[in-house]
Each structure stands twice: as C-alpha cells, then as structure tokens.
Amino acid sequence: MPRTPNTQLTLLLEAAGWSPAPFTAALRDVAAEQGLTLNVHLTTVRRWLEGAQPRPPLPALILECLSRRLGRCLTAHEAGLTRAPAQLVDPAWEADPLRKLLHLTHAELDPHRRALLGAGVLTATALALPPHGEGPAASGGQKYPGRRTVADDVGQLQAMAQVFATSADQHGGRHVRAGLAAYLAHEVIPLLHRPPPTRVHQGLRSATARLALLLGSMCADSGHHAPARHYHQIAARLAADADDPTILAIALRTIATHAHGLGDHTPAVLNLAERADQYARHAPPAVRAYTHIQLAVLNAHHNRHAAMAALARAERLHAQADAEPGPFSSYPAGALHFQRAQVLATLREPTNALTALTTSLRLRTETERLPAALTRARLAETHLRLGHLEPALAHWAAFLDAYPTLHSARAGQRVTAAVQYLRPHQRRADVADLLERITQVVGPLR
C-alpha cells in the first residue's frame, strides 16, 4: 500500500526550524532523559515524513521534542502520529477535565483501551501549568437527568476517598484501581452534570479532584505512569476550578513527587514543588509540611543548604499539625521520616538515612501495610550499602512475608532490586536461601 506523506509532521518541523538531522539529535537527547537509547537515523525520520507510523514510545518522544521547541503542548493528531479517529485523551491543560476524566475512567474499564493508556512516556511538557492566576474554563458536556445534588453528596465522596485510600495503603493500588474508576465514571461524573447550588458544585469538584488524585496514584503504583499523569493533571484543574488552593497544592506536589520517583530531578520539577508550596501557604500545618518536605527532597539534588532548611521547616510544621484523620488532611509521621531518609540519602548521609528509615518503620500504622513494606525494602538496601548483611536479610525476609498480599508495581521493583543486591553474595547459605524464597514467592527473575 502506498503511504500518505505526513504533511502535519513536515509542517511542524518547518515551524520548529529543524531539518531531520537536528531533530534526530534532539529526539535522542529527550530519550536519554528517560533512560532510553534510540536507534533513530536520518532515514528513519524521512520514513516518518513519508507516512510511516513510529512505534511507542517514539510518538510521545516526538511530541515532547516538538512541544519544547514550539512552546506549546502538541497532540498526536496535530503531528499526524495516530490513525485513530479521535485522541483517547487530550493532554493539554486547557482540555475539559470532566471530559478527560470520563474518557479515562471508561478506558480503565476496557482492557484493550487500558493497555493503550499504559503505553505512554512521562514528559516534561505535561508539567506545564497556565500562567499564575489564570482560571480554567468552565466545563461543559453531557447533562445527566435526576435530582439536584446536595451537600450530603460531597460528604459521601469524601467518605469514599477515605475508603479507597485506606484500601490502597493496605494492599496497593492495582487491586482497587478499577473499582475507583467505575465509581468515578458511574456515580461521581453524573453528579457533576446535575444542577447543584454553586457552593455544592464547588465542593463536588474539590471532592472529585481528591478521587482523581487517588486514582492517579493507584495508576503510578501499578506502573502505568501516563494515565497517572493525566489523573493528577485533571485533579489540579478541578481543584483550581473549585477555588480550592489546598487540594491544588496537594495535586501539584503529587505531580512533582511522581516525576521525582521516575528520576526527574530537574529545575522544572523543583519549580512545580515550589508552586505547590505557594498554594499551600494558607493550608493547615499538615498540608504545609507535606508540600515543604517535597521541596527538601528535590532541593537535595541542587542545594544542600536549601534542602536542610526545607526539611527543618517541614518538621516544625508537622509538629504543629493536628491529628485529624483523612488522606487529604493528615500527613503520617512515618511518611515524613521516609522522605527525610530520601533527603539524607541524596545528600550522601547513609547512616542518618538509616536512622530515619528505622524511625519511619516504627511509626507506620497497621493500615499502612504497603508503605511499611516499602520502608522495610529500603531499610534492607541501606543496610547492605553500609555492609550490614544480616539486618538487611532480616528486613528482606519481613518484606517477603508481606509481599503476597500487595498488588503494587513498586513492591515488584523492590523485589527486583533485592535480587540485584543479593546476587554478589549468593555463595553464602543464608543469602542463597533468601534468593530461593524470592523465586518461590515471586517466580524466577532475571
């Protein structure tokens, strides 16, 4: 079949002032930021211009290159990189958040579309925000028949957020992700399209932002980072639309945390954490501690003094916080010390990081099974780096006790890391026994 030339991509390259050679170089640079090595040459780019469709993750990388160069967020349709009749999700901030949420949650419930959602690459342009103080456009879309929404509906959504958050903390996000997506698609979105009083409408949007944040974190915990990014961005838009700076601060902090977890420590991510902290300036102390500790984590990659100052400030704020329960009103002490350990590890203070992780594990509650297990894994890794093999084995053994009840890609990553740490010591009988147990619990790992 003869190919149809991709005139859209050709025009975008012309607008960017790029011939195939500099475009290829820029593409390789963006791939390197993601830890990818591309086998892309001038002939490859020419084939794309002639109409060949690049395979994932190349479309996302191409869009990232061109978006950076042109200073705006491009879609796959604009660049001629998809033959689908309509884009699954519009990544632009300006897109209607409820429409995006509806498409995403329905895709979550369709195994084929859910696989497509998980195929993306997290890119820096997705972190772009509108100018400070610029409000989002009002959402339109489908109207649902039924009674008017009332204040009790907001309370119900907040109660369900607690249920889903507790379940994810106990067993990981993967096993409750579809349930939360179905709840959003079939219960929450219809509420938002019924005529409510203005104040109730704002409360509904704010409560929906909380649920979208939870779903995004469940996707990240499942290893599906592209949909996680979309849900987090939707939450930020809904919080801004609801005039809720506290939830907006939490959403921006979550986006920065997600990017950091994927290895992005750039000034752009630090700037996002700073924006989160600005929005949290009038929030309760627990939320301010939550945003400030992320400033410490990110500053540790850039400025030691700033990192330690932010860490001290976060700890003072946490000491002032009330013990109000709830996933968006409290910040567990175990989480604070876990991130303290992250700061200290980045600053190359492994002994102090070990102390912080030990404190974090001690402070974990019974409902924090997944965080406690991940803390144990980090403790084992830190002990081994310091040459403490026996305590490392003890923590890994306890981690494996919890592992079968966890449905989490993060837990799986820590198992893979354990094998890598232990293989140099596999001639020891106790290490060989633990490696054999890992094989029995998880299956063979490379």
Could you give the CA distance from residue 75 to residue 390 in angstroms, rounded to a whole number? 52
**326-358 in b/e burial notation, b at 16+ Cβ within 10 A?**
ebbbbbbbbbbbbbbbbbbbbbeebeebbbbbb
pLDDT of amino acid 436: 93
Of 342, 232, 245, 324, which Cα lies nearest the Cα of 286?
A: 324
Could you give the CA distance from residue 135 to residue 127 in angstroms, rounded to a whole number? 17
pLDDT of amino acid 196: 59
Please report, to the nearest 10 degrees, the dihedral formed by the alpha carbons of residues 353, 345, 331, 276 taken in order: 160
- C-beta of residue 251 within 8 angstroms of C-beta of residue 235: yes
DSSP 8-class letter at 187: I
H or E stretch covering 174 = none
Per-residue pLDDT of the chain (446 residues; tens, 9 = 90+): 457 889 999 999 999 999 999 999 999 888 877 667 788 889 999 999 998 888 877 887 898 888 888 877 777 778 888 765 444 444 454 467 888 888 888 888 876 665 555 545 444 444 444 444 443 344 444 444 555 666 788 888 989 999 999 999 998 988 899 999 999 999 898 888 776 566 788 899 999 999 999 999 999 999 888 889 889 999 999 999 899 999 999 999 999 999 999 888 888 889 899 999 999 999 999 999 999 999 999 999 999 999 999 999 999 999 998 867 788 989 999 999 999 999 999 999 999 999 999 999 999 999 999 999 999 999 999 999 999 999 999 999 999 999 999 999 999 999 999 999 999 999 999 999 999 999 988 877 65
Instruction: Give the pTM.
Output: 0.76
- Say which amino acid occupies 81: L
Which one is the CATH code of 244-363: 1.10.3210, 2.40.50, 1.10.150, 1.25.40?
1.25.40
pLDDT of amino acid 274: 94
pLDDT of amino acid 114: 59
Could you give the CA distance from residue 71 to residue 260 in angstroms, rounded to a whole number? 23
The token pair at 430 is 């106790």
**CB neighbour list of residue 122: distance below 8 Å, 6 or more residues apart:** 34, 225, 226, 229, 258, 259, 262, 264
- C-beta of residue 372 within 8 angstroms of C-beta of residue 378: no
The values of phi and psi at residue 60, to 5°, are -65, -40
Domains in the chain: boundaries: 7-70, 88-127+143-243, 244-363, 369-446
Please report, to the nearest 10 degrees, the dihedral formed by the alpha carbons of residues 62, 64, 66, 70 taken in order: 170
3-state helix, strand, coil in the chain (%, to 5): 70, 0, 30
Q: How far apart are the first and last CA of the chain?
A: 41
Same fold, 244-363 and 369-446: yes
In the CATH scheme, what is the code of domain 369-446?
1.25.40
